[in-house]
Chains A and B, each alone.
Chain A
Amino acid sequence: MDGLLHQVFSGLATGGIYASVALALVMIYQATHHVNFAQGEMAMFSTYIALTLIQAGVPYWWAFAITLVVSFAIGAVIQRVLMTPMANAPVLASVGIFIGLLLMFNSCAGWFFGYTLKPFPSPFGEGKPMLAGYLSRHELGSTAVTLAVLLSVWAFFRFTRLGLAMRAAAYNPASSRLVGVNVDRMLALGWGLAAAIGAIAGMMVAHVVFLEPNMMSGVLLYAFAGALLGGITSPMGAVIGGFVVGVLENLGGAYVVGAELKLSLALVIIVAVLVIKPSGLFGRTIVSRV
């Protein structure tokens, strides 16, 4: 029983990481109707920026904040420079861009920072496990950070004028322009925000899995499974899906398939969702009447 609870709790901790990346995927998906395959590599690259800053002597939370700003800028620039000209391009062309970005970030990270595993510090310290021994300090801290991020992103989209305009621009660009929304600016903001959320996930997970250029490939797969499970059209669903996948991964790895086959669970989930319920658990079915 104790072991089971332990697995569930630490599954929720990794689930938070998946939930953040899933949210970033869904944000881009809603605006472009494509999955940004490079989301994970962008997060990994951001984490290297953070590590470089920390090694240069910048205090952790300052490095954290600077990394967010830089990641936001990278995301917004990618949208402006690469995605804007692709607005009316066929699907395969956009997919080509995403794969190109993935390879580019991956190779550049290897080129600049090397392929060796690097330890990444945790701001929460090593110390004793918390919560009656179920979670490490880092797991607890990173879960708190992800929850705070997810909550503030939700509040931003739900309650602010800018958040509403960003949602409107993603759903219906033509009508958004007609109420005076600058759609291009909203899309760039969306990419920036997604990149920043990904960067937080990267910095939180790097302490656990160690930093290397392929650090996020597994995470992206789990996050994608989570996004599909919750419904790729539903940000809330993607977040819940991310947590569920985190727990399933941990339980499956511990009791069913073993650690080596864990990643195949993500693929099983992806295939199962696509076959049984392509819109996911919380995907919206849009009702329209004439």
Chain B
Amino acid sequence: MLLEAVGLRAAYGQSKVLHGIDFTVRKGGVTALLGANGAGKTTTLRAICGMVRTEGELRFEGQRIDGRPTEAIVASGIAHVPDGRGTFMELSVEENMRLGAYTRRDRGVAADFDRMFTMFPKLRQRYRQQAGTLSGGEQQMLAIARALLLRPRLLLLDEPSFGLAPLIVQEIFEIMRRINEADGVSILVVEQNASMALAVADHAYLLETGRIVLSGPAADIRRDESVRRAYLGY
């Protein structure tokens, strides 16, 4: 297992958001975390990266990562495309990308920049532009590029489809599949767009008010009667 959570709890101050959840992310797989607003999906991703106070165990490649500072967890190979995309608005697209490669000292960075331009041609066009002037879709692509430049082994994606036009959503999910298959990056994706997420994922968890209520292969979850009615809408 690439990532393993056992009895993971998280709270913001007094309000508890996660009530002890267990989940795993398989190496090379795409795992989806589904659920309604406020179910604790974003908090789960934030908990993995040490951005909220947690209890319970988190293991990445067998090593305990709970309680470690965010920058250390990130440097160990987990990239996080956060809620709201986390764009450095005041900096240029180039500087955003250079920050993505901040932890790296190897010589492959230039080649990875070129790979990002092939994957996201828009970023090459906008290279010198202030990142705050990009459209929502472009910022989402920049956020993914920034995360990939870290050369992660696990990519956490928080609602990559949020607020984007359907065509761009399609494109982003296509890119997700490519990152996973061609580059071998394992993915944990949080989505409200359940049908999209289940189409790419091989495994899924359903979260309701801080508890996991259902888990299994994505194909089974898609066929589940209650999920279909509540989240897929048919």
Contacts and interface: CB of A to CB of B under 8 A. Distances in A.
Interface of A: 161, 164-165, 167-168, 171-172, 174-183, 284, 286-290
B87 A175 contact: yes
Interface residues of B, number: 31
- 7 smallest A-B Cβ distances: which pairs? A175-B86, A180-B103, A177-B70, A180-B74, A180-B75, A179-B99, A288-B132
A174 B82 contact: yes
B20 interface: no
A178 B90 contact: no
Given A174-B82, A180-B103, A289 B134 contact: yes
Contacts of B91: 164, 167-168, 171
B136 A181 contact: no
B108 interface: no
Most buried by A among B90, B150, B163: B90
B49 interface: yes
Contact of B74 (A167, A168, A177, A288): A177
B136 A289 contact: yes
Interface string B52-89: 00000000000000000111001100011010001111
Contacts of A175: 82, 86-88
Nearest to A30: B90
B150 A180 contact: yes
B132 A180 contact: no
A167 B91 CA distance: 9
Nearest to A167: B91
Given A174-B86, A290-B163, 9 more contacts: A176-B99, A178-B49, A178-B79, A178-B80, A179-B99, A180-B150, A182-B71, A183-B71, A288-B132
Interface string B128-149: 0010111110000000001000
B98 interface: yes
B102 A284 contact: no
A240 to B, nearest CB: 19
A62 B135 CA distance: 52
B82 A179 contact: no
A164 B97 CA distance: 11
B95 to A, nearest CB: 6
A118 B90 CA distance: 44
A182 B82 CA distance: 18
Contacts of A290: 136, 163
Nearest to A180: B103
A284 to B, nearest CB: 7
B29 interface: no
A66 to B, nearest CB: 32
A161 B101 CA distance: 10
A167 B96 CA distance: 11
A83 B102 CA distance: 26
Contacts of A288: 89, 132-133
Contacts of A168: 88, 91, 95, 99
Contacts of B35: none
A287 B132 contact: yes
B180 to A, nearest CB: 20
A268 to B, nearest CB: 30
Give the most central of B49, B79, B100, B102: most A CB within 10 Å: B102
B71 A181 contact: yes
B99 A165 contact: yes
A5 to B, nearest CB: 39
B79 to A, nearest CB: 8
A179 B74 contact: yes
Contacts of A179: 74, 99-100, 102-103, 146, 150
Contacts of B150: 179-180
A183 to B, nearest CB: 8
B1 to A, nearest CB: 23
B136 A172 contact: no
A188 B64 CA distance: 29
Given A164-B98, A180-B75, A171 B136 contact: no
Contacts of B232: none
Contacts of B69: 177, 182
B151 to A, nearest CB: 11
A171 B130 CA distance: 13
